[in-house]
Amino acid sequence: MGRLFWKFFLFIWLGQVAAIVGTGAFFWFEHQQSPRRADWPPPPPPQLGEHRPPPPEFARSGPPRPLPPPDGNRPGGPLPIFPLIAGLIASLLCAAGVAWYFAKPIRHLRNAFATAAEGNLDTRVGSAMDGRRDELADLGQDFDRMTVRLQALMAAQKRLLHDVSHEMRSPLARLQAAIGLARQQPGRLEDSLARIEREGERMNGLIGELLTLSRLEAGVSGPLEKVDLGELLAEIVEDARFEGVARQVGIDYAAAPGLVVRANPELLHRAIENVVRNGLRFSPTGTSLQIAAKPQADGMIRLHIADQGVGVPEAELEAIFTPFYRGRNLATGDGYGLGLAIARQVIATVNGKIAAKMKSDGSAGLLIEIVLPAAD
SS3 labels along 300-360: EEEEEEECCCCCCCHHHCCHHHCCCCCCCCCCCCCCCCCHHHHHHHHHHHCCCEEEEECCC
Whether residues 361 and 256 fall in one domain = yes
pLDDT at residue 72 above 50?
no
Catalytic residue among 162, 166, 269, 304: 166
The overall longest dimension of the chain from CA atoms, in Å, is 156
Cβ atoms of residues 126 and 141 within 8 Å: yes
Mean pLDDT of the chain: 78
Choose the final residue of a domain: 120, 152, 180. 120
Count how many domains the chain has: 3
Reported confidence tier of residue 108, pLDDT bands at 50, 70, 90: confident
Better-predicted residue by pLDDT, 360 or 368: 368
- Average pLDDT for residues 334-360, to the nearest whole number? 85
pLDDT tens column, 282-339? 888 989 999 999 999 888 999 999 998 888 888 888 888 888 776 655 544 556 678 8
pLDDT at residue 105 above 90?
no
Choose the final residue of a domain: 197, 217, 237. 217
Whether residues 265 and 290 fall in one domain = yes
| CB burial string 267-293: b at 16+ within 10 A, e below | bbbbbbbbbbbbbbbbbeeebbbbbeb
Residue 278 CA, chain-centre distance (Å), reads 32
Whether residues 174 and 201 fall in one domain = yes
27-41, 110-124, 231-245: which is most confident = 231-245
Write the burial class of residue 166 (CB in 10 Å: 0-12 exposed, 13-18 middle, 19+ buried): exposed
CATH of the domain at 183: 1.10.287.130
pLDDT of residue 303: 94
Whether residues 39 and 164 fall in one domain = no
Whether 35 is in a domain gets the answer: yes
82-96, 133-147, 187-201, 342-356: which is most confident = 342-356
pLDDT tens column, 135-149? 777 888 888 888 888
Does the annotation mark 166 as catalytic? yes
Whether residues 212 and 238 fall in one domain = no
Whether residues 325 and 298 fall in one domain = yes
Choose the final residue of a domain: 120, 152, 173. 120
* % of the chain residues with pLDDT over 90: 18
What CA–CA distance (Å, rounded) separates 136 from 188? 72
- Average pLDDT for residues 208-225, to the nearest whole number? 80
- Long-range CB pairs of 82-87 (<8 Å, 24+ gap) are 83/24, 84/20, 84/21, 84/24, 87/20, 87/24
Strand ranges in the chain using DSSP code E only, listed in sequence order? 225-228, 250-255, 260-263, 288-295, 300-306, 353-357, 367-373
What CA–CA distance (Å, rounded) separates 40 from 43? 8
Whether 67 is in a domain gets the answer: no
Whether residues 276 and 172 fall in one domain = no
Secondary structure (DSSP) of 63-81: SPPPPPPTT---------H
Whether residues 208 and 295 fall in one domain = no
Residue 280's contacts (CB-CB under 8 Å, 6 or more residues apart) are 240, 243, 244, 247, 249, 289, 307
pLDDT of residue 4: 55
Whether 66 is in a domain gets the answer: no
Whether 303 is in a domain gets the answer: yes
Beta bridge partners of 353: 371
Whether residues 41 and 95 fall in one domain = yes
- Average pLDDT for residues 80-107, to the nearest whole number? 73
Whether 313 is in a domain gets the answer: yes
Instruction: Please tell me whether the peptide bond between 41 and the residue prior to it is cis, using omega within 30 degrees of 0.
Output: yes
Reported confidence tier of residue 70, pLDDT bands at 50, 70, 90: low
pLDDT tens column, 239-276? 999 988 888 899 999 999 889 999 999 999 999 999 99
Q: What is the pTM (predicted TM-score) of this model?
A: 0.58
Cβ atoms of residues 225 and 252 within 8 Å: no
Whether residues 205 and 298 fall in one domain = no
Cβ atoms of residues 292 and 254 within 8 Å: yes
- Name the residue range of residue 200's domain: 137-217
Whether residues 229 and 358 fall in one domain = yes
What CA–CA distance (Å, rounded) separates 39 from 54? 14
> Poorest-confidence range of 33-42, 237-246, 346-355?
33-42
What CA–CA distance (Å, rounded) separates 59 from 277? 124
Whether 247 is in a domain gets the answer: yes
pLDDT of residue 354: 93
Whether 57 is in a domain gets the answer: no
* % of the chain residues with pLDDT over 70: 74
pLDDT of residue 158: 79
Whether residues 231 and 360 fall in one domain = yes
- Average pLDDT for residues 104-108, to the nearest whole number? 79
Reported confidence tier of residue 372, pLDDT bands at 50, 70, 90: very high
